[in-house]
Amino acid sequence: MKLTILIIDVDGCLPDAKLNSSHRKKMVCMKNNKDRFGKAICACLMMILITVAGPLSVQADMAPRMTDILITNNTGNVLLYARLVDCFKKEMETAILAGVPAVFTIQLDVYQERSYLWNKHVVSKEIRRIIKYDNLKKIFSITTNSDSQPVILQDFESAQKAMADLNGISVIPISYLSKGHNYNARIKVKIDKVRLPFNMEYVLFFVSLWDFETPLYKIRFSY
């Protein structure tokens, strides 16, 4: 049985959607108002809006986030497809090329929605994806949840793409779902602890160096 996707809500991004709606309303105003004075006022308002919103949009574009989000299923599991963008900062790239492993932790929670009671928490899981560069062999290895067979890549660009592409991530087994019910999956990705070379202690990088966390995404689906 196929899942039905109802809506995607992205925490922290709804104000941008309202801003775009306001932008479109002003465009309609400018097209339909035949009065020159009205056009001039609308044009001025548009210029002010673009001046104020422009830097905010640039900052938002630079923040780590998930795009192209899709929830679907195969015969056994609910699956997540998505892509991480702006997740590799310059300092982070430098550290990886120096041999410091980077760990992305995908956090997943699934809730069954109920009308008269609080939502029921069905499952919670974390998926750890680690990228490491071998300076001697000049190769990148990517492991997921300590898999015995890492993915080996020759160049950094391909390794970054492999880290950023979330293809067919298992969210929850179909057998955990009840037919005729609505669910929501809450997903985010954040930086985890990294082990430095030469068996140094675990270090968690703060602020601008490795401060990595996407917004919390909520995808509603029915079964």
pLDDT tens digits for range 74-117: 999 999 999 999 888 887 888 888 888 888 999 999 999 998 88
Q: Which segment, 14-28, 53-67, 177-191, is predicted with the most confidence on average? A: 177-191
Q: What is the per-residue pLDDT for 193? A: 54
pLDDT band for position 217 (50/70/90)? very high
How far apart, in Å, are the Cα atoms of 15 and each of 60, 166, 171?
12, 26, 28
Measured between its terminal Cα atoms, the distance across the chain in Å is 8
pLDDT band for position 44 (50/70/90)? very low
Residue 1 pLDDT exceeds 60: no
Q: What is the per-residue pLDDT for 117? A: 84
Which neighbouring-strand residues pair with 34?
none
Residue 56 pLDDT exceeds 90: no
pLDDT tens, position by position, 122-164? 999 999 999 999 999 999 999 988 676 889 999 999 999 999 9
CA neighbor of 130 nearest in space, from 163, 81, 107: 163
pTM here is 0.67
Q: Which residue has better confidence, 47 or 199?
A: 199
- Count CA atoms within 13 Å of residue 156 on its CB side: 14
Instruction: Please tell me the distance from the alpha carbon of residue 181 to that of residue 204, in angstroms, as a whole number.
Output: 40
Contact 202, 195 (CB under 8 A): yes
Q: What is the per-residue pLDDT for 196? A: 56
User: Which phi and psi angles does 122 have, rounded to 5°?
Assistant: -95, -50
Q: What is the per-residue pLDDT for 3? A: 58
Quote the radius of gyration of the chain (alpha carbons, Å).
Answer: 22
pLDDT band for position 192 (50/70/90)? low
